[in-house]
Amino acid sequence: MTRRQKAGRILTRMIQPGQTIGIIGGGQLGQMMALDAKQTGMKVIVLDPTPACPAGQVADDQIVAPYAEVQAIEELAQRSDVLTYEFENVDLRALEDVADKVYVPQGTNLLNITKNRIREKTFLRNAGLQTAPFMAVQNADDLKKAVDQLSYPSVLKTSEGGYDGHGQVVLHSDADLVNCAGILSTQDAILEGWVPFRLECSVMVARNENGEVTVFPVSENIHHDEILHLSIVPARLPHNLQKQAQQMAVKIAHAIDLRGVLGVEMFVTAAGQIYINELAPRPHNSGHYSIEACNFSQFAIHNRAICNWPLPKIELLQSAVMVNVLGQHVAGVRQQIARRPNWHFHDYGKAAVRHNRKMGHVTILTDDIDATLSEIDNTGIWRE
């Protein structure tokens, strides 16, 4: 990669309109990344095993192949000017193998840290950030020792994989240990002590290769059955805690040498302590509000960051509530289209509608958060 010195500043390669962004993964995050990329004149190629996947529907082309297929990754690299991904479970070796063929600004260190919960929490602790207490667990004996030290309640999770509540078990007493066999069979788990949080929140932060950082508002997140239900922006937190959360996200971005967008999930206790829960090395569900509510969306900022464009200061144009549309909500939400002219409806175009599968989302710009929350609840769609 060529570098040149100008006005005392190191400038690196910029991806220009007309060049091609390759995206590993074709779900809704890839779809929204592709939609923004097309707006700025980029070409987009997606790698995904499902024909006409959400991102493939809006991209210039799709390579239909398994993510782990070496030949497919190499083809994507050869046809792209910059390579990115929309989910964590990317083959690190495959990325390393094509790094000499295509610009991979995010590298592999970010994925290596964030795809493993033990490495992730160790990194966060070493960076001076507070996390839940944790211990590595490989078998039943390890679990007993970890429980003796961390006590109940606690949460047993697989070190890798798992999403939306999959791959984890909450332990309240010895009676729950019988539910741990599946996770223990991986021989690579983590027990986390319980954080008595008052609310969950997240911050999207982005950084480019020139070291410029921009940070989004704090989103307050409410979950149902371990799946994000809705996000409230700005979070209902004192200003000083919102500022602290953003500062922590920026600190992480620099410490991990971030390129692109990173979602930082946090717990906030009644005493105002902030714990970092997890990192998502990509756009995040809780940042979808930014499409309508901010001057730049998280997808626009991700694309700018990986293409090494200058990063703007993010402004929240209006308060917002974003609510997820799962499979069981689709019919009810579609009935609202004719009734709610001020709702922003997003449908990801997934072929199969399944219970608890993310099918879309709705964003509502508002001057009265409580009234909007009541409006959502009164539809009856999200009462399960």
Is 164 known to sit in a ligand binding site? Answer: yes
**Distance from C-alpha of 157 to C-alpha of 209, rounded to nearest angstrom:** 33
**Distance from C-alpha of 40 to C-alpha of 11, rounded to nearest angstrom:** 21
Is 167 known to sit in a ligand binding site? Answer: yes
Is 380 known to sit in a ligand binding site? Answer: no
Is 318 known to sit in a ligand binding site? Answer: no
Strands 227-233 vs 197-207: parallel, antiparallel or unpaired: unpaired
Is 22 known to sit in a ligand binding site? Answer: no
Is 166 known to sit in a ligand binding site? Answer: yes
Is 195 known to sit in a ligand binding site? Answer: yes
Report the chain's terminal Cα–Cα distance, integer Å.
53
- Beta sheet of 227-233, edge-to-edge order: 274-280, 260-269, 197-207, 213-224, 227-233, 320-326, 358-365, 343-347
Give the SS3 label for residue 255: helix
Is 361 known to sit in a ligand binding site? Answer: no
Tokens in use for 375? 């409006």
Q: At residue 229, what is the residue type?
A: H
**Distance from C-alpha of 309 to C-alpha of 12, rounded to nearest angstrom:** 10
Sequence-distant (6+) residues with CB within 8 A of 361 are 285, 288, 322, 323, 324, 325, 346
**Distance from C-alpha of 290 to C-alpha of 105, rounded to nearest angstrom:** 23
Is 343 known to sit in a ligand binding site? Answer: no
**Distance from C-alpha of 48 to C-alpha of 34, rounded to nearest angstrom:** 14
Is 200 known to sit in a ligand binding site? Answer: yes
Is 193 known to sit in a ligand binding site? Answer: yes
Is 162 known to sit in a ligand binding site? Answer: yes
Cα–chain center distance at 136: 24
Sequence-distant (6+) residues with CB within 8 A of 99 are 107, 108
Is 209 known to sit in a ligand binding site? Answer: no
Tokens in use for 247? 């500062």
What is the 8-class DSSP label of residue 103? B
**Distance from C-alpha of 202 to C-alpha of 229, rounded to nearest angstrom:** 14
Is 223 known to sit in a ligand binding site? Answer: yes
Per the annotation, binding residues are: 117, 157, 162-168, 192-195, 200, 223, 277-278
Binding residues for ATP are: 117, 157, 162-168, 192-195, 200, 223, 277-278
